[in-house]
Amino acid sequence: MSSGIDKVFAGSIPRLYEDYFVPLIFAPYAEDLADRVAARSPSRILELAAGTGVVTRAMLTRLPESATIVATDLNPGMLETAKQVGTPRPVQWQQADAMQLPFGDGEFDLVVCQFGVMFFPDKGHAFAEARRVLRPGGAFVFNAWDRIGDNEFADVVTNALATLFPADPPRFMARTPHGYHDRQAIERDLRAGGFEKAARIETIAKRSRAPTARHPAIAYCQGSPLCSEIEARDAARLGEATDVAAAAIERHFGAGPVDAKIQAHVVVAER
């Protein structure tokens, strides 16, 4: 069951997300997604759940100046951080809910979403909205994390926090970011959204690297809604939770630079 805090990226989270999480796990897949976008030569792109703009920036390095991007997110704090980080050339930043997109039918050649679909409360409905704003022949390109067991830092942190809060373990990572890994469920939801052609789904493993064990501990415990989940149990223990996570990562991956497996599904659904 999804918690109400799972979709909230506010307060200090957006900046920590950009500084710690983006280089740790999001940048490698942003490059992959941007390459796929550029290969389709779109003129007008809608990005959903753009976050702090890692995919936005990657797309701009590959697309011609004539291509336009409308980058949206539900959380104003994430968009504000994206604006502060900046882009090589202007994009249209806009707050928008993927469940009810404020755009007309067939406005875009491509809809792109990096690691956002897991947060959509009704995925079939959100996919129908993505399809609605696509022109005929356009494509919905997105990715979603595979199961938590194939994403080592997330798994280690989740297990470590369970020792700190044994009566009520924080399960945000397993529940939401890694809770939408079943390929058949993705295919079913795409069909429910009106995508009649079989989607192409690739499962891609990459490496997650950081200079110290503390870097991913801060990313997970303070740069995501896991922070709010920890604070809901005991706000005074966020620092302790981060320390426990860092110690667990160090036990598994060493005291110096750390390197772990990450894995995700990359999906292309054509209208």
pLDDT at 2 over 50: no
Averaged pLDDT for residues 220-246: 96
Is the pLDDT assigned to residue 8 strictly greater than 60? Answer: no
Query: What mean pLDDT, rounded, does the chain reach?
Result: 95
**Average pLDDT, integer, range 54-67:** 97
State the virtual CA torsion across 163, 169, 174, 177 in degrees, nearest 10.
Answer: -110
Number of structural domains, the chain? 1
Q: pLDDT tens digit string along 185-218?
A: 999 999 999 999 999 999 999 999 999 999 999 9
Beta carbons within 8 Å of 61's beta carbon, 6+ residues apart = 34, 88
* DSSP at 9: -
Predicted model pTM: 0.94
146 pLDDT exceeds 70?
yes
154-193 pLDDT, tens digit per residue, is 999 999 999 999 999 999 999 999 999 999 999 999 999 9
What is the separation of C-alpha 110 from the centre of its chain, rounded to a whole number of angstroms?
Answer: 18
Q: What is the mean pLDDT of residues 240-255?
A: 97
**pLDDT tens profile 256-269:** 899 999 999 999 99
For the chain, give the percent of residues with pLDDT over 90: 94
Average pLDDT over residues 21-35: 97
What is the C-alpha separation between 105 and 150, in angstroms, rounded?
38
pLDDT for 76 beyond 70 = yes
The whole-number pLDDT of residue 10 equals 55
Whether residue 114 has pLDDT greater than 90: yes
Report which DSSP code applies to 12. Answer: T
Cα–Cα nearest to 11, from 72, 78, 71, 60: 78
Q: What pLDDT band is residue 13 in, cutting at 50, 70 and 90?
A: confident
pLDDT above 90 (res 126): yes
Confidence at residue 11, expressed as pLDDT on a 0 to 100 scale: 74
The enclosing domain of 241 has a CATH number of 3.40.50.150
Q: What is the pLDDT of residue 9?
A: 63
Residue 119: domain span: 4-270
Can you name the residues that pair with 112 across neighbouring β-strands? 47, 141
